[in-house]
Structure 1
Amino acid sequence: MYMEIHQLKKQGFKVRRIARKLRVSRTTVYKYLEKSPEEMSLWMASTKSRKKKLDPYEMIIHTWLTEHPDMSAAQIHDWLLEKYKDLKVGESTVRGYVKELREKYSIPKEEEKRIYQAVPELPMGQQAQVDFGQTNQKKSDGTSVKLNFITFVLSHSRYKYVEWLDRPFTTKDAIRCHENAFRYFGGIPNELVYDQDSLLIVSENSGDLILTAEFQSYREERKLNFTICRKADPESKGKIENVVGYIKGNFAKNRVFDHIDTWNEQTLAWLDRTGNKKVHNTTKKRPVEVFSLEKQHLRPIIKKITISNINSSITRTVRKDNTIVYLSNRYSVPLGTYKKGKSVFIEATDEGYLLIRDEKDGPTIAEHKISHQKGKLIQDTQHTRDRTKGIPAYITSIAEKFKNQELAHSYLKEIHRRYPRYIRDQLQLIGKEIKSDPELIDEVLEMCINKGIYSATEFSDIVQYVKRQSQVDKDAPIVESNIVQLTDADKLTISTKPHTRNLDSYLEVLEGVSK
C-alpha cells in the first residue's frame, strides 16, 4: 500500500484520485505520504510486536473455533460479550482477530453448501415463469416514485414480456397483464410457474392450491396449468429471477420516470432492442431468434377474453365515519351512506383512481386518486355536506329550529342570496351551532339581524361571544341589598359628636408631667 501510494503520487495522481483508485480514505493517503521509508519500517515493526486487545482471550476463541469450525465472527463476538460482561470490543476487531487465528492455527471455516446441478432445457412451448418486481425511480422534478412490474419469460427461448404500474397490482391487473403477455407471445405455454403471491394464491393447502376466486375463474376459462414454487426455493424459478434483476439493472437503473404510458412504451422498445435481441449468456443465442421457432409450439389463443366481464369488484364495509379502508388508507363516501352492515363495491382503475359504487354495476358515488402512502384520510369536501335535502327544504329544516321561524327563514334566505355556491356549508355550520347551543340561537339571531350580520362563520362567532358573556355574568359575585329607612333616633345618633380632649393633656403625660 505504501509503495503503491508513492508510485501513483510520482505519476502525477492527486490524493483524491489515489484514494479512489486504492479504495482507502484520503487521510490514509496523507499519512503514508508523510512517512519516509525508514519511518514506515519502524512503524511496521512496532505493529508486529505490539499486543492486541483480544490476546488475553486467544485460548478461549481458539477452543471455540476448534470445537465449532463453522462459527462466525459475529457469533464469537456475541459469546465474548456474554461471557465477559466488562469487555468493550467492536465486531470489526473480533472479525479481524478471528481471521488471523484461523490462519495461524489453520482452522478453515466450514460452510454447509447447497449442491446444484444443471437443469435440462425444457421443450419449446412447455413453460413460462412469472414474477413481480418493484423499483424506485427518479422523476424530472427531483422526487421519486415507486413502480411495480410483472414480467414473463418463456423458459426455452428466454423471450420476455414486461408491464409496469405506478400503483400496487390488483388481481384484475394481473389477469389483464396475462392476456397482454399471451398476445405478445402469440400463444399460451403449457405450464406457468409462479412464486407464492397473495394476488393469486390464498393457500397452498399441502399441495392442493387454493387460488383467489377471481384468478381461479380466469384459470378455468383459459385452462391454464400452474406450478407454484416452494418457499425459500428460488432456484426452481431461477430464469425469472434473472429477468427481474436484468430489468432492474439494465432498463430501469438511472432512467428518469415521466409517465406510466411513456414508461411502458420505452419498455417495449427496450425488449425489441436489448431484452430479447442480445445474445443470452447461458444459451448463447438471441431470444428473438429462438422464439421464432418456439412460437409454433404455443397453444393458440382461440377465444378473446374481455377483462371487464370478469367479476373484479371488491366489497368494502362502510364505517361509521362514512369512510372505507383500501390499502391501509381511508377514503370518504357521501355523508349518509353509512348504515349498519352497509357495503359498497370498489374498483381500482388503470389510471390510478378508486371508484366506489352502491351496487356492483351501479353509478359511481365516489372517486378518489389512490394514495401510495399509508394511514392517510383521502376525503372529498363534497362528501361532508348533507345532500339528502334540496336547498329550500334544507333552509326550512334549519329555520324550524328557531322560535321565530319566519324571521329565521328570511335570515337564511339572505345568506343563500349572498353565498349561493356555499349555501350547504353555511347551513351545515349554523345547524352545528344549533345542536351545540340551542338556548342561545334565538338571541344570536336577533343580534345578527340588528347588526346586519349574514354569515354562518360570524353567526358562530356571535354564539361564542354570547356564551362567554353569559359565563362572565354567571361567575360575577352577587351583592345582596337590604336598605331600611332611617328613624328620628337614628338621625339623632348620627348627628351626635363625641367629646374631644385638648392635645396639651396628652403632651403633658408623654413628657412626664402630671396634674
Structure 2
Amino acid sequence: MGIEKVYSFHMTLSYSRDPFCCFTTSQDLQTFFDCHRRAFAHFGGVPKAIVYDRTKTVVRRHVAPGEAVPLHPEAVGFAGYYDFDIDVLAAYRPTGKGRVERQVLIVRDHVLSGRAFSSIEEMDAAFTTWVPQRRAQAHRTHQQIIGERAARDHAALKPLPPTPNLVAERHLRPVGKDCLVAFGGNLYSVPARKIRPRQLVEIRATKSQVMLHSTAPDSRGETLLAMHPRAVGRGVRVVDETHWDGLPTGKSRRTTTGDVPAEARHKQPPDRQTGPLETLLSRSAVTRIEVGRRPLSVYDELTGTRPFTTHPSTRETS
C-alpha cells in the first residue's frame, strides 16, 4: 500500500444501521467536520442528533462525571449551522456507541481485508461499491432489510443547507518586524500599514485557505487583514509584496559602503576652536594630548616628605 497511515471515519443511522465510511490521512478539526459533510451528502440529509464520545474535536476538555461538558466552539457552530444536537456520552460508557464500533469491524472484514490500495480514493470507492450489498442484507438485531429501514431513516432527515459550512482552525500569533506571521511551519504576510510589530492577530485556517484577522475591528467594523492559499509542506513564504508598503527601507539613514579614512575622522573644522570641555569629551582629541613624564622624587620634594626606604641593617630578625 502506498499510503503511510490511514484513518477511517464512520457514521451509522441508529434506526436502520445504514452505514457511512470514508478514509483520511488526518484527524484534524477541518478533516473531522469535512467527513460529516460527506456523511450528510451520503445519507441525503442531516440527523436530528449525533452521539459522540469525548473526542477533542467535540469536547473542549474532560470533566468529572456528572458535570456539564464544555463543547468545542467550532463543533457548536457546525451543529448550529446544520441544525442538529450534540449528544456526548457519559464518562466510562464504552458500550454507548456499539452500533458504530460494530460497523468499524464490518468494514474492516468485508471491504479492506485481503486487499491492497494505492490511494484514499480507491478505498472510498471500495466502500461505495460494497454499500448496496450491505443494504440488501437483513440486520441480525432488528431482523429487517437494512435498505428498507434506511429509506424511512432518510425520509426523516433534515434537508441540507444550500451552502456548506467550512470549519476553521483558530490560533493567535504575533506579527514579526517583517510583517510575516508564522503558522504551520510557514510564513504569511499581513499589510504593514494595518499592524505593528508583535501585535497579535487571529489565524483562521481551513484546508485550503489561511485568513488573518485583527483582534479588534477597524472603523468600518472589519477585521480581515489578509487571505492566502494554504501552503503545502513547511518552510514556505506566502507573501503579497504590496503588504510591505510602509516598511522602513533604510534610505533615510546615513550609510557608507566602507570605513571612514583616519584623516576624516580626526579632522576638525578649520573655523571652529576646540574648547577644554570639548577636548575631554572628544575621544579623538584626547588621543592627541601629550602627557608629560617626571620622576617620583619631584612629588616628594613638593610635599616635603622623604621617600620610604628599608635598609638591611634595620630589618627585624626572628
TM-score range, shorter chain: 0.5 to 0.7
Partner of 1:307: 164
Which of 178, 182, 188 is the aligned partner of 1:333? 188
Q: Does structure 2 conserve the Cα–Cα contact (< 8 Å) formed by 1:148 and 1:169?
A: no
Return 194-203 or 174-183, whichever deviates more. Answer: 174-183
Partner of 1:356: 210
Equivalent position amino acid for 2:200 in 1: K
SS in 2 for 1:246: helix
Which of 205, 212, 218 is the aligned partner of 1:347? 205
Deviations 1:102-143 (A, max 9, x none): xxxxxxxxxxxxxxxxxxxxxxxxxxxxxxxxxxxx21xxxx
SS in 1 for 2:5: strand
Partner of 2:266: none
- Percentage identity across paired residues of the two chains: 13
SS in 2 for 1:368: coil
Which of 38, 50, 67 is the aligned partner of 1:192? 50
SS in 2 for 1:290: helix
Equivalent position amino acid for 1:185 in 2: F
Equivalent position amino acid for 2:256 in 1: F
SS in 2 for 1:235: coil
Cα offset for 1:340?
Answer: 1.2
Deviations 1:376-427 (A, max 9, x none): xx112676x998379xx97x95997434xxxxxxxxxxxxxxxxxxxxxxxx
Task: Give the Cα–Cα distance (whole angstroms) in 1 for the partners of residues 238 and 39 of structure 2.
Answer: 41
Partner of 2:118: 258
Query: Is 1:156 aligned with 2:156?
Result: no
Task: Give the Cα–Cα distance (whole angstroms) in 1 for the partners of residues 168 and 245 of structure 2.
Answer: 34
Partner of 2:231: 368
Partner of 1:317: 173
Task: Give the Cα–Cα distance (whole angstroms) in 1 for the partners of residues 242 and 153 of structure 2.
Answer: 62
Equivalent position amino acid for 1:161 in 2: F
**Change beyond 3 A, Cα 1:207–1:306:** farther
Cα offset for 1:207?
Answer: 4.3
Task: Give the Cα–Cα distance (whole angstroms) in 1 for the partners of residues 146 and 181 of structure 2.
Answer: 50
Cα offset for 1:317?
Answer: 0.6
**Change beyond 3 A, Cα 1:262–1:361:** farther
Q: Which has the larger radius of gyration?
A: 1
SS in 2 for 1:358: strand
Count of residues in Structure 1 that have an aligned counterpart in Structure 2? 243
SS in 1 for 2:4: strand
Cα offset for 1:293?
Answer: 3.7
SS in 1 for 2:8: strand
Cα offset for 1:153?
Answer: 0.8
Cα offset for 1:325?
Answer: 4.6
Cα offset for 1:168?
Answer: 2.4
Where in structure 2 are the equivalents of 1:391-406 lying within 5 Å?
Answer: 397=251, 401-403=255-257
Partner of 2:39: 181
Deviations 1:25-79 (A, max 9, x none): xxxxxxxxxxxxxxxxxxxxxxxxxxxxxxxxxxxxxxxxxxxxxxxxxxxxxxx
Cα offset for 1:243?
Answer: 1.0
Equivalent position amino acid for 1:199 in 2: T
Q: Does structure 2 conserve the Cα–Cα contact (< 8 Å) formed by 1:251 and 1:270?
A: yes
Equivalent position amino acid for 2:110 in 1: N
Equivalent position amino acid for 2:6 in 1: L
Deviations 1:260-298 (A, max 9, x none): 34443332222233x4334434444442233234434x2
**Change beyond 3 A, Cα 1:169–1:367:** closer
Consecutive unaligned residues in structure 1, runs of 5 or more = 1-137, 371-377, 404-437, 443-515
Consecutive unaligned residues in structure 2, runs of 5 or more = 214-222, 262-318
Task: Give the Cα–Cα distance (whole angstroms) in 1 for the partners of residues 88 and 78 of structure 2.
Answer: 17
User: Quick one: higher RCO (CA 8 Å, sep 6+), 1 or 2?
Assistant: 2
SS in 2 for 1:236: coil
Cα offset for 1:323?
Answer: 5.4
- The structure with the largest helix share of the pair is 1
Q: Does structure 2 conserve the Cα–Cα contact (< 8 Å) formed by 1:316 and 1:346?
A: no
Deviations 1:154-195 (A, max 9, x none): 22221111223222231x444443343234323444432111
Q: Does structure 2 conserve the Cα–Cα contact (< 8 Å) formed by 1:234 and 1:241?
A: no
Task: Give the Cα–Cα distance (whole angstroms) in 2 for the partners of residues 293 and 343 of structure 1.
Answer: 48
Return 279-288 or 231-240, whichever deviates more. Answer: 279-288
Partner of 1:295: 154
Return 230-239 or 197-206, whichever deviates more. Answer: 197-206
Task: Give the Cα–Cα distance (whole angstroms) in 1 for the partners of residues 122 and 49 of structure 2.
Answer: 31
Q: Does structure 1 conserve the Cα–Cα contact (< 8 Å) formed by 2:189 and 2:226?
A: no
Cα offset for 1:229?
Answer: 1.8
Q: Does structure 2 conserve the Cα–Cα contact (< 8 Å) formed by 1:318 and 1:342?
A: yes
Equivalent position amino acid for 2:164 in 1: I
**Change beyond 3 A, Cα 1:230–1:397:** same
Query: Is 1:229 aligned with 2:84?
Result: no
- Alpha-carbon RMSD: 3.9
Equivalent position amino acid for 1:266 in 2: A
Q: Does structure 2 conserve the Cα–Cα contact (< 8 Å) formed by 1:199 and 1:212?
A: yes
Partner of 2:244: 388
**Change beyond 3 A, Cα 1:338–1:317:** farther
Return 146-155 or 215-224, whichever deviates more. Answer: 215-224
Q: Does structure 1 conserve the Cα–Cα contact (< 8 Å) formed by 2:7 and 2:24?
A: yes
Query: Is 1:276 aligned with 2:130?
Result: no
Equivalent position amino acid for 1:233 in 2: R
TM-score, reference length from structure 1: 0.40
Task: Give the Cα–Cα distance (whole angstroms) in 2 for the partners of residues 278 and 388 of structure 1.
Answer: 63
Q: Does structure 1 conserve the Cα–Cα contact (< 8 Å) formed by 2:203 and 2:211?
A: yes
